[in-house]
Structure 1
C-alpha cells in the first residue's frame, strides 16, 4: 500500500511560499532558523493538499516525507487486528508529521478537514539536520512537548469526567488558535472547532450522545457559546480552564 496522492484541489499554498510570511512560522520546526537555514529548507520543501476524509498515509506504509501542518486538522489513528480503530492524536497547524530515521508510518494519518502540509523530502531533511542546529533543536523541543502532552492526555482519559474531557479539548484548541494568531490565552476567546462531534467522541473515549449532551450543558451554563456549526465563543477562558480541572497555567501544552 502506498501513500495517497495529494488531492487536485486548488493550490492553497500559493500564499505561504515565502517562509517569512508563513502563518505557522513562529511555531513550526523552522521557528528558530536563520535566513541561510530557511533557504536550505526552501530548496527541499513542497506543498501537499488533501481533502477532508482523505488518508495521508496508512500505518505500516513507507513514508518518504516529513511535514508541518500549515492549515487544517488531521487525526492519528491505530487499527487493531479485529478492526477496531482508536484515535490516538490530533495534528493541528504547526504540528510535525513523521520522524527522521523512521521509514515506516506507525499510525494512519487522516485529514479531518481540508489540509495543507509543508513537506520536506525525508532523506534530504535527515541530511540537513546535522548542519542546521536550529532545526534539530526545535525538533527536539517539539518532540518533548509532544511527550508531555501525551502524559497529560493519559490523565485526561483515565481520571477526568466527561465534562472535564470536553472542556480540556476545547481549551487545547483555543490555546493553539490563540498562539497561531499571536493572541493571549485569556478573557474572551473565539475559535473554529474543526472536529465533528463523532471525532470528539472517538478521541475522548466517549459516546456521541455524551459529547452532544456535555456540549449542550456547557452552553446552557454559559461556559461556551455556539455560533453556527463550527464557531465556539468562550466568554471567560479562566472559567473554561476551571471546568477542565486544570491548574492555573492550563496543564496542557498548546
Structure 2
C-alpha cells in the first residue's frame, strides 16, 4: 500500500504539490501519489484580498478549498439580518463540508489569503473511494467541534481580559504555521470584529488590549502589529489549562 506521507520530493507526487504549504498538514496529507495526481488536474491556486467572499450562506456548494496562507472568517446571518462571527480558519485547514449541498455559513478572507480550490464533485469522488481520506476529514471535523466547545467555555466563563488574551494566543499559535516566530503577528480582525467574535464591546476590547500592553504581556505597534515577549505568560493570563 502506498504511504501517503512519503518524502515530499518523491517523483510520483505532482510538482505543484511538492512545495505546497498544505501538503502534509491538510487533507492532502491523507492522499497517495495517484490521488494527488488526479486531484491536481482540477485544482486552482487563488490569491484573495482581505474581504473577498469565498462562499455565501445558503449558496450551493460547488467547490472546496485548502487554506494555504492567511485567515478565513466564518460568519452566520440571523433572520433579522444581524451577523455573528462563529469561527476562524487558518492554514492548512480544509474549507468545506464534503457531501453537503448548501453552505450554512459565509466564508470570507479576513486577511490577504491564498487557497487551493478544488471542484466538489472531484473530491467527493476521491473521499468515497478512500477510507483514509474520509478519516482525515472526519478527524478535522471533530477537531473543529472540540475547538468550538473550548470557545464556548471562553465566551461563557472567562473574564474580558481572559477572552482577549485567549484570542491573541489563538492567533499567535495558528496564524502562520510556517513561521518559526509565533510571538509577532498582525491582527487579522478589526477591533469591531474582535469584539463581535468575543461577545464584547469595542471599548472593552480596546481597554483590555491597553491593559495587557501596560502590564507588559503584549507590545502593540501601529494599532495592528502585536508582539508577545512571553507566550507562557500570555497563556497564563488567558486562563489556559495545560
What TM-score results when the alignment is normalised by the length of structure 2? 0.87
Partner of 1:14: none
Shift of 1:54: 2.5
Deviations 1:161-185 (A, max 9, x none): 111011111111111146x126487
- Identify unmatched segments of 5+ residues in structure 1: 1-16, 249-254
Of residues 220, 226, 235 in structure 1, which corresponds to 2:229?
Answer: 235
Alignment map for 1:77-96 (pairs within 5 Å):
77-96=75-94
Q: Distance in 2 between the 1:217 and 1:103 partners?
A: 46
Partner of 2:202: 208
Partner of 2:7: none
> Structure 2 vs 1, CA of residues 132 and 183 (structure 1 numbering), >3 Å: closer, same or farther?
farther
Partner of 2:11: none
Partner of 1:10: none
Alignment map for 1:90-169 (pairs within 5 Å):
90-169=88-167
Name the Cα RMSD after superposition: 1.9
- 2:72 counterpart of 1:74: yes
> Structure 2 vs 1, CA of residues 85 and 242 (structure 1 numbering), >3 Å: closer, same or farther?
same
Of residues 46, 49, 56 in structure 1, which corresponds to 2:47?
Answer: 49
Aligned length: 228
Partner of 2:26: 28
What TM-score results when the alignment is normalised by the length of structure 1? 0.83
Deviations 1:11-40 (A, max 9, x none): xxxxxx722212233321112333333222
Please tell me whether the aligned partners of residues 74 and 110 of structure 1 are also in contact (alpha carbons under 8 angstroms).
yes
Equivalent residue of 1:128, what SS? helix
Q: Distance in 2 between the 1:143 and 1:224 partners?
A: 32
Deviations 1:210-250 (A, max 9, x none): 111111110110001113343221111110110110112xx
Equivalent residue of 1:88, what SS? strand
Q: Distance in 2 between the 1:127 and 1:242 partners?
A: 45
Q: Distance in 2 between the 1:47 and 1:181 partners?
A: 18
Equivalent residue of 2:162, what SS? helix
